[in-house]
Amino acid sequence: MPYPPPNTFSEAKLDRDQAAAYLQRIALPVSLLDESPSLEQLSKVQLSHLEHVPKDTSPLHVTEDQWSGPNTPIKLSSNFPGMPVGVAAYQRIVEQNKGAFCFAVNAVFATLLRTLGYRVSELGSRAYKALGNDPRTHEAGWLWGSITHEVLIVDWPGSEERYIVDAMWGPWSLAKPIRLIHGETIQGLNRFEAYQVLHEPLPQSPGMPKPIDSIDGWTLYRRITPTGTPITLPIDEKNPTPGAYWSPLFHMLPISVPVLDFGLFHHYSASHPLASFTAFWLVTKLIPGGGGARLSMMYTEREGDDEKKAKVYVTGGEEGQGSEEGREVRWVPMQTVPMREFLEKEFDYKF
């Protein structure tokens, strides 16, 4: 797609060969191209996508030519603007077996869904900045960031409902479609995950200035319970589990976003001086067949950190029992040669 793209709402699709390659990339049969859209198919495609395409900030820190050169230290925020924009990420995701972040991955995923026969609206959302906490009691309260996440609303001919679909949230993500119905509550991939969507104004703490003009949006919440406490639906809000609460993930407005506006959101997240994604190294994806278990690699600069290494760890799944504490911890030097070797072995990247 030329840049800047036309100032329209994206309806981009793939041709059959591109879609076939995409399905093979996420370990699904090409025969899906000849099936009719359905909730079962949508759920299968979303989950397999999350198990094979990582959320990945590495393009913000390392240029492609560095990967094939001599071993050099990886410096955060050194490759502006290295992250692919929108559907231009197809080559990186499908042909190179790599990941990216939401404004690239969800945009490309939307093209696959349209090719499979789905209707897709691409929306912007703002993330809750104190993830995993209870905004009613946490010192940050209802602390929302700017619009730094793309979300999809999906339906198809004959579907009775519309669904929130997200192929790139990362940790704490919902790996299933959820109906766009106020109060809809569903189980995640194991007994320790549950999610709820509410149609509401942007939740705010007391004393925060209210907008003059606003519309209600949709907030996606994750249920947090003490470690080792399974979640049973329906949840009795009048007699809740001690220590349990709903923690917001993101709030989105039901307004389709034009392609050019996504370019602005992308810039603020990936190449603006205040860009949040440039401050950390993150590569993370669900483990195939792991029931919500996730393999992650994380690094942020720390003062006095002479031996710079990224932490690799597993979270979630039935074994995690609702805890986000990392297990099976390993370390990878923040240098191009050992990092490339690790990404090739553990995430199947192609360089």
Q: What is the pLDDT of residue 256?
A: 96
- What is the distance between the alpha carbons of residues 141 and 125, in angstroms, rounded to a whole number? 18
Residue 76 has phi, psi (to 5 degrees) of -65, 145
Torsion-angle region of residue 132: left (phi > 0), alpha (psi -120 to 50) or beta? left
Half-sphere exposure of 267 (CA within 13 A, CB side): 8
pLDDT band, residue 3 (cuts 50/70/90) = low
pLDDT band, residue 259 (cuts 50/70/90) = confident
Lowest mean pLDDT among 74-88, 159-173, 277-291: 74-88
Closest CA to 190 of 285, 326, 293: 293
Task: Tell me 246's DSSP state.
Answer: E
Each residue's pLDDT tens digit, 31-84: 999 999 999 999 999 999 999 999 999 999 999 999 999 999 999 987 777 788
Instruction: Report CA Rg, the chain.
Output: 20
Q: Please give the domain boundaries of the chain with CATH numbers for all domains.
A: 16-346 (3.30.2140.20)
Lookup: tokens for 22: 């995409």
Query: Would you say 113 and 45 are in contact if contact means Cβ atoms under 8 Å apart?
Result: yes
Q: Would you say residue 162 has pLDDT above 60?
A: yes
How much is the pTM?
0.94
Q: Would you say residue 1 has pLDDT above 70?
A: no
Each residue's pLDDT tens digit, 210-221: 999 999 999 999
* Residue 73, beta-bridge partner list: 335
